[in-house]
Amino acid sequence: MSVEFCGLELAHPVLNGSGTFDLIAAARVFGEEVREYFPFSAYVSKTITLQPRTGNPPPRLWEAPAGLVNSIGLPNKGLDGYMAEDLPLLSGLRTTASDGAPAAVPVITNVMGASAEELTHLVQACDARPEIAAIELNVSCPNVRTGLDIGSDPAQLEAVVRAVRPATRKPLIVKLTPNTADVALCAQGAERGGADAVSLINTLRAMALSPGRPGEHWLGGGTGGLSGPAIRAIALAQVAAVAARVTIPVIGMGGVQTAAHARELLDVGATLIAVGTESFRDPAAGTRIASGLQALSAA
Amino acid sequence: MSLAPFARRLLTVTGMDELGTYRVLRVADPDTLEPAPGQFAMLTAAEHWGGGEQERPFLPRAFSIARRSDGESHFLLEDVGPGTRRLCELRTGDRLWALGPLGTGFIAPPAQRRAILVGGGVGIAPLAILQDTLVTKATVLLGFRDRGRAEGAALLDGASLATDDGSVGHAGLVTELLAEELARDPGAVVYACGPAGMLEGVRALCEHLQVPAQLALEAGMACGFGACYGCVVPRRGGGYLRVCVEGPVIDAAELDGVDAHAGAPA
């Protein structure tokens, strides 16, 4: 079940979605053995920004029908803090390959910036670190100049990716936003700009109101993003549409809870799949889904 | 603080006991690591989790471990929403998923200093296992809304009670009982768990009297192990603490206040 992805040899097709698994916290809670039996075949970091961010004021979560609205606000230590404090702790992870042998887990660092210049700076810094195998761009960020989410407009996305591309020879993945008119056009823009792969879907913009307080936002950040099984059918449609229109690999995600759900995304053209919200309910969901996929393919 | 196994465990319900308005859920959990008092578990009914009110619940629910006894873990439940309602419906032989023990625990008081346990409502749960493990006799002060809920006091030994409606014990707030105790013994150490308003009352009083206090907090939480960053509370001096990994037991000196707004999904 090993998979080749942009020159990386991965033990199985199951990654974590950015921002849905904190290895450093998990090692504190479950012990260091998490590093030896990591659920995912590559570790995608949470989003790193140039400057540190504390994140949004609480409340940050709302339970939706079959899903979760979150408004976390990308808390992180900033580029310097991540490189100095976190990255050294993310290296040396191992997962279990389908033959039972331990396999190395490469680190994919996810970065977000409000301009091509800021993203270029972040990507250059990632390029310089051998512990980072690939870079994922979070383009669900308003452009400081246009105010548009960078990833919501195909031409803007193409221009940003084209500007950032020369900063690294490492695999460059663009995490597409579903909050756009035509995600496949955006994927094509990313491909034309030089992306090596695209990942989707990010959360769908959503909101919740405070019970008993008409019209008042519940989430401290105002609006948030919906994830979980509630969005699975949308993810399937978007992944299928993108896979049909680009030649680069696609990482599919959105509401995956079982190997059968993962198999569907692979069947419509994804090369890899990612698990996010389901890991909140079951921290070993990645392992369960990877071994389930193995069983499905053997059947 | 005990580490949790890196997987949810499928456990069997061994009993559901009535305790006034509350229920005590007992599950066979012989292989778990002994939790530190104050640690919690994320619980999910194995069947029919979802499809209730507003098509919920979806996320697991966080519960303090109230007691360990004969290979069982006990949890104190109150039916206040679709998740707690579903858990209250469980009967002997039903199964549920549990992840834990999670989070930080209470730190025992220094020798020669009395522990005062202050609980409110369903938040009395972690104080029971704390009382079980303390080597010296603690003073227990519990507050409830009404008589039906005050029956929950049976979870602990020798509690002095306060009720909002005056039906049992002191008519008023449990923090008023705490103020009296601290006036008598300002050298005590306070351990508290309960609704945000009560915790804020305890925090402010202890800060004023310079009495050390450990508060077990509650917050809306998706994962329980530091992954989602959803359960934060503001930290004194800036930034946030994750209730699941930096808490749930947090030194009151780390907080400027306990905000009533960030309640948990029920």
Q: What is the ipTM of this complex?
A: 0.95
Cα separation, B165 vs B172, in Å, equals 7
Is residue B103 within 8 Å of residue B14, measured between CB atoms? Answer: no
CA atoms B47, B51, B53, B54: torsion sign:
positive
- For the domain made up of A3-56+73-207+227-298, the CATH class stated in words is alpha beta
Mutate to test the interface with B, among A22, A281, A291 (most CBs of B within 10 A): A281
Cα separation, B134 vs B164, in Å, equals 29
Report which secondary-structure segment, H or E, holds A267.
helix A259-267
Cα separation, A97 vs A171, in Å, equals 22
**Chain A contacts in chain B segment 34-53 (CB below 8 A):** 44, 50
Note the pLDDT of residue B212: 98
**Between chains, do A22 and B229 touch, taking CB under 8 Å as contact?**
yes
Cα separation, A76 vs A18, in Å, equals 12
CA-based nearest distance A283→chain B, Å: 6
Cα separation, A107 vs A113, in Å, equals 20
- For the domain made up of B115-254, the CATH class stated in words is alpha beta
**Between chains, do B3 and A30 touch, taking CB under 8 Å as contact?**
yes
**Chain B contacts in chain A segment 175-234 (CB below 8 A):** 228-229
What is the average per-residue pLDDT within B183-188?
A: 96
Partners of residue B245 in chain A, C-beta under 8 Å: 25, 28-29
Q: Are strands B95-102 and B40-45 parallel, antiparallel or unpaired?
A: antiparallel
Task: Mention every residue, 6+ apart, whose C-beta is less than 8 A from residue A70.
Answer: A60, A61, A62, A203, A224, A225, A227, B222, B228, B230
Q: Is B266 on the interface with A (CB under 8 A)?
A: no
- Average pLDDT value over all residues in chain B: 95
Give the CA dihedral B212, B216, B220, B225, nearest 10 degrees: 100
CATH 2.40.30.10 fits B9-102, yes or no: yes
Task: Mention every residue, 6+ apart, whose C-beta is less than 8 A from residue B107.
Answer: B214, B249
In the block, tokens 């419906």 appear at: B89
> In this structure, what token pair is assigned to residue A183?
């995600």
Note the pLDDT of residue B264: 55
Best CA proximity match to A273, nearest among A30, A45, A42, A38: A42
Is the pTM above the cut of 0.90? yes
Which phi and psi (to 5°) does residue B177 adopt?
Answer: -65, -40
Note the pLDDT of residue A221: 93
Kindly give the confidence (pLDDT) of every residue in chain A, 299 residues in length, as a single tens digit, with 9 standing for 90 and above.
Answer: 799 999 999 999 999 999 999 999 999 999 999 999 999 999 999 999 999 999 999 999 999 999 999 999 999 999 999 999 999 999 899 998 878 889 999 999 999 999 999 999 999 999 999 999 999 999 987 777 777 789 999 999 999 999 999 999 999 999 999 999 999 999 999 999 999 999 999 999 999 999 989 999 999 999 999 999 999 999 999 999 999 999 999 999 999 999 999 999 999 999 999 999 999 999 999 999 999 999 998 87
Closest in B55, B227, B261 to A20, CB measured: B227
Share of chain B above pLDDT 70, in %: 97
CA of residue A68 relative to chain centroid, distance: 16
Cα separation, A152 vs A158, in Å, equals 11
Q: Is B234 on the interface with A (CB under 8 A)?
A: yes
CA-based nearest distance A48→chain B, Å: 15
Q: Kindly identify which residue of chain A lies nearest to residue B223, measuring between CA atoms.
A: A280
Question: Hey, which residues does A69 pair with through a beta bridge?
Answer: A62, A226
- Residue A48's Cβ-side half-sphere holds a number of Cα atoms within 13 Å equal to 27
What number of other Cβ atoms are within 10 A of residue A257's Cβ?
A: 19
Sheet holding A204-206, edge to edge: A61-64, A67-70, A224-227, A204-206
Report which secondary-structure segment, H or E, holds B213.
strand B213-216
Cα separation, B78 vs B84, in Å, equals 6
In the block, tokens 């991540």 appear at: A82
Note the pLDDT of residue A187: 98
Q: Where are the domains of chain B?
A: 9-102, 115-254
Closest in B44, B225, B261 to A283, CB measured: B225
Partners of residue B222 in chain A, C-beta under 8 Å: 61, 68, 70, 277, 280
Note the pLDDT of residue B263: 58
Partners of residue B3 in chain A, C-beta under 8 Å: 29-31
**Between chains, do A55 and B240 touch, taking CB under 8 Å as contact?**
yes
A214 DSSP 8-state letter: T
Closest in A28, A65, A280 to B54, CB measured: A65
Note the pLDDT of residue B121: 98
Q: What residues of A act catalytically?
A: 141
Cα separation, A93 vs A105, in Å, equals 5
Q: Kindly identify which residue of chain B lies nearest to residue A73, measuring between CA atoms.
A: B229
Closest in B222, B245, B262 to A25, CB measured: B245
Is residue A72 within 8 Å of residue B230, measured between CB atoms? Answer: yes
In the block, tokens 């990482």 appear at: A251
> In this structure, what token pair is assigned to residue A151?
């990833």
Note the pLDDT of residue B1: 65
Best CA proximity match to B138, nearest among B9, B37, B13, B29: B37
Q: Can you tell me whether residue A48 is helix, strand or coil?
A: strand
CA of residue B206 relative to chain centroid, distance: 19
> In this structure, what token pair is assigned to residue B211?
């009495």
**Between chains, do B57 and A20 touch, taking CB under 8 Å as contact?**
no
**Between chains, do A60 and B55 touch, taking CB under 8 Å as contact?**
no
CA of residue B199 relative to chain centroid, distance: 12
In the block, tokens 């609006």 appear at: A223
Task: Mention every residue, 6+ apart, whose C-beta is less than 8 A from residue B15.
Answer: B24, B25, B26, B92
**Chain A contacts in chain B segment 72-131 (CB below 8 A):** 97, 99, 102
Instruction: Express each pLDDT in B20-46 by its tens digit.
Output: 999 999 999 998 789 999 999 999 999
